[in-house]
Structures are given as C-alpha cells and as structure tokens.
Amino acid sequence: MPTTTVADALGTIGSELQDLVAAVRAADPAPFERALTLLTDADRVFVHGAGRSGLALRMTAMRLMHLGLDVHVVGEVTTPAIREGDVLLVASGSGTTGGIVRAAETAAEVGARVLAVSTRADSSLSTAADTTLVVPAATKTDRSGTASAQYAGSLFEQAVALLGDALFHALWQRSGHSADDLWPRHANLE
C-alpha cells in the first residue's frame, strides 16, 4: 500500500478545491447574486444540513450573525417556526436527503424562501428551492474517485464551508461595515 503524507493529502485537497473554485467562478453568476439578495432581504435566516454539511452551515450561521442577521440553526431548542419573509439555507450533496428536502418543502409551504447548495440542479431539493447553488463535487455515496479522490462527500462539505464564507464576505464587503463594526457580535462567553 502506498504511503501518503499529510502534505500529500493537503496537496490533493488543495488541488481539488482550486478546481472547484475555478468551476464556480466560471459558472453563471446569477444564482449566486440571487443568493446574496435572498440573504439580504430575509427577515430571518435558518440553516439546516445533515452531518458534515450541517456542521459547515453552522459556521455560515455564525458569520451571518456577525453581520447582524437574525440567524437560527434548525434543530436547536430555541429555533422558532419559519414563516413568510424568512430564508432557509440548506445543503445536501445529493439533493435527496429526506429531512432536508422535507424542511425545504415545509419552508416553501409557509411562504419562506429556500436557498439550496447541492451537486445537482435536477434534484428534489432543487425543485423545492427558489435558488440552488450547484457545486461540482462528489456526493457521499460516490466512491468512484472520479469527481474527487477524497472520501465520500468531503469535497462537497468543504465547498459548503467555502461558499458560506464567500457569501458572508461578499455581503460584508457590500455592507460597508468594518471588522470593528462586526466585532461586538463576536462571542464573549468563551
């Protein structure tokens, strides 16, 4: 069995992320602009994802809160009911994760907007969403090594984290607020 070093692994991951970023930059910018508008216009933002995708979205929730948005993580005991005027930000590589699709459908039924991140524009999640950000990555069930040499949906989950930071950064830059303006919202009960 070949020996892979941590440096080798980082090289693989970095290369795949560079390719992913290049593909997203070359893609139609309209869905990304719609995503920024949805987030800007939202009364409240709810984030929801399963497993590592959900963890990545929690990072996004924190940054959006730093911007001053009213943000909730689905499943937390203090999360209120979603309603018209709100946005549900969800991620599912396959676009078929049952709980995520059902949450998107529920949000749409009550008049909330749905912003999805997925590898597929033709999934049931994308059908329920107002806007889907499609990323070229492997889903957790793709073990072919074709879309990514990494295990399961690692590249997709990394993309969710990077897209969350990119959405935050674009919103922050457009806001005109300084880092000092955002700092008072940073956690102080650490």
From the first residue on, what is the mean pLDDT of each consecutive set of 10 residues in the chain (190 residues)?
Answer: 88 95 96 98 98 97 98 98 98 96 98 97 96 90 82 93 98 97 93
What positions carry a catalytic annotation?
Answer: 157
User: What's the number of domains the chain is made of?
Assistant: 1
Tell me, yes or no, whether 7 lies in a domain.
no
Tell me, yes or no, whether 69 lies in a domain.
yes
pLDDT score recorded for residue 166: 98
pLDDT score recorded for residue 1: 62
Q: Which CATH number covers residue 64? A: 3.40.50.10490
Tell me, yes or no, whether 190 lies in a domain.
no
Tell me, yes or no, whether 183 lies in a domain.
no
Q: Which of 32, 42, 23 is nearest to 83 (CA)?
A: 42
Tell me, yes or no, whether 14 lies in a domain.
no
Tell me, yes or no, whether 19 lies in a domain.
no
- Sign of the CA dihedral 93, 99, 105, 106? negative
Tell me, yes or no, whether 40 lies in a domain.
yes
pLDDT score recorded for residue 109: 98
* Cα–Cα distance measured from residue 100 to residue 185, given in angstroms and rounded to the nearest whole number: 29
135 by Cβ neighbours in 10 Å (0-12 / 13-18 / 19+) ranks as buried
* Cα–Cα distance measured from residue 19 to residue 129, given in angstroms and rounded to the nearest whole number: 26
Tell me, yes or no, whether 24 lies in a domain.
no
> Which range marks the domain in which residue 109 is found?
29-175
